[in-house]
Every structure is written in C-alpha cells, then in structure tokens.
Amino acid sequence: MRPPKTRPGDTIALVAPAGPVPPDLVEKALPVLRGWGVDVHVGECVRATSTGYLSASDEARAAEFTRAWLDPGVTCVLAARGGYGSQRMLDLLDWTALKAAGSKTFAGSSDVTALHRAVNVHLGLETLFSPMPATTLFDAVAAEHLRLSLFEPESVRLIASPTASPLVPGTATGTLTGGNLALLTSGLGGPEQGTGRDALVLLEDVTESPYRIDRMLTQLLRSGWLDGVRGFVLGSWKSCGDPEAVRALMFDRLGPLGVPIAWDFGVGHVPASPTIPLGARATLDADAGTLLTLP
C-alpha cells in the first residue's frame, strides 16, 4: 500500500531509532523541514544526551517511534540519522496497534533499513529510503528530492542517475526492496526477513572491506534470499576500498544470476542521494541508469 501524500499543514515526526543525534545538525535541518510548510515534532530521543552508541534505551526508542506512529496528526515518521540500533527495538513494537493506526510514511536509510523491512512486512506499506536530516549528507539536492517524494511523488517517478553504468545490461521490472547490505544480511532469520524473489534489490554500504562485502553477498546467496531476484540497483560504497575492486566483486558474486545490474547509482552515503520508494513496483534500465516507479 502506498501511503497518502504529505500536505502543507501536516506534521512530520522526527525520531532517533538508532544512534545519538548531533544537536547542531538537528538545528540546521529544522528550518529546512519547516520550510516545507509542515509542523515538525522532535522526539525525546532526538534531543537525548547520550555518550554511547545508542540515542537512548531500546524501550525509549521504541516508545518514541510508537508515539509518533499512533499520533493521528503525524503523516510522516522520519529518522533523524542512522548509526546502529534500529534492529534492537523491533521486538518491542506492537505491530498490530501500529497497523490499526492506519497508513503513513516512514523515511530514513542506512541502519534504518531494519525498520524499512519491518514496516514493509508487518504493515504492508511502501517506505522511503531517504537521506536523513541530522547528517552531513542532507544537502539541498537530497532534501529537495525527499520533499518531492513526500509531497509530489508523481514528479519523481523517474530517477535518472548521472553516475550509473551497466554492470550487467538490460531492463527488469520488480518490487523495490533492500537497502543497507549489512542490515539486510543481519536480518536473515528474523521475522522481517522477507525475500528478494521478483524484486529489484537496492544495495549500498559504507566503511566495509571488500572481503566483508563478499561475505555478506555470499550469505544472501547461500540463504536463498536472492533466488528469483529480477535486478540490482547498486548504490554507493563509500570508504569500502578501491571502487574498481568492489565493482569486480559485485560482478563476480551477482553477475552469474544473469539479471540486470546498475552500478554506482548514487544512492546511500553520498551527497545528492535520491529517495527510493521501497515496496513500490519499478522498472530498472541498467543501460540508461534509470529507475521508473510504476503507478
């Protein structure tokens, strides 16, 4: 199900389901978000002072997310940043109550991939794999694409990447899924595992060595999660070693599947990253470097 569009006067709830949020980046982002004509409710965990790698306790982060989702005035729940921790709170959420609250948009990326999988699977909703406000990558281009994805999704149905090239040429149509490779792999065996069958799988990561990327891809392959996949949208691999080595690795592990693969689509931990609607049906043209979301 595609959530309704965000409209002027709606409320966006900013939450911190993973790591601690830099206060200066929150303050820098708030005028941008409010400039969209919406109210912004900043969650308690976003403002929390933490010296660890979590913004707050699992219980507090789960409660913040739940309050935001159950608030009838909120139409979009937006993760302030990633880091680590989203997966830890999944079992503390009452998915039956969240589903009864109706559809709304969830957006974020990186570690938040765990919540994307959960919302897709438990609530049956499309979500937005998007740049996050309290990060250095929330630049003007990224922010505008997220705004359009929320308010005018029909205007960004076609995403054309200026950096993409075909690792394996061709076109394919499927349901967009995936996100951060490490989180997708660590979710195997959990209730949100899902499957890549009949899907266009988005993969990206940051600061992972090529051998670790190899290990995660091999795990996805051996688990059967990639059986029946339709194609791949490979995003950014910032600080993952020699880009050509990563490219060769992707061809070695994913090329034998014989499906279209777009390399370096510019999604993930890079400036000007576009927002990708996970759960939506789309057509990938690896040769043209385009992704077209279907109505």
Q: Give the residue numbers annotated as catalytic, written as ranges.
A: 110, 204, 269
Among 286, 291, 227, residue whose Cα is nearest residue 256: 227
Question: Which residue type, as a one-letter code, is found at position 104?
Answer: K
In order of 29, 259, 283, 295, the CA distances from 174 in angstroms are 34, 12, 7, 13
For the chain, how many residues are written?
295
For residue 98, give the 3-state DSSP assignment.
helix
Residue at token pair 């199900």: 1
Q: Read off the tokens for 120.
A: 């897709």
| Surface-to-core class of residue 102, CB atoms within 10 Å of its CB (0-12 exposed, 13-18 middle, 19+ buried) | middle
CB 161 within 8 A of CB 265: yes
The Cβ-side half-sphere exposure at 269, using a 13 Å CA radius, reads 18
Q: Read off the tokens for 213.
A: 């990327």
Cβ neighbours around 27 below 10 Å, total = 10
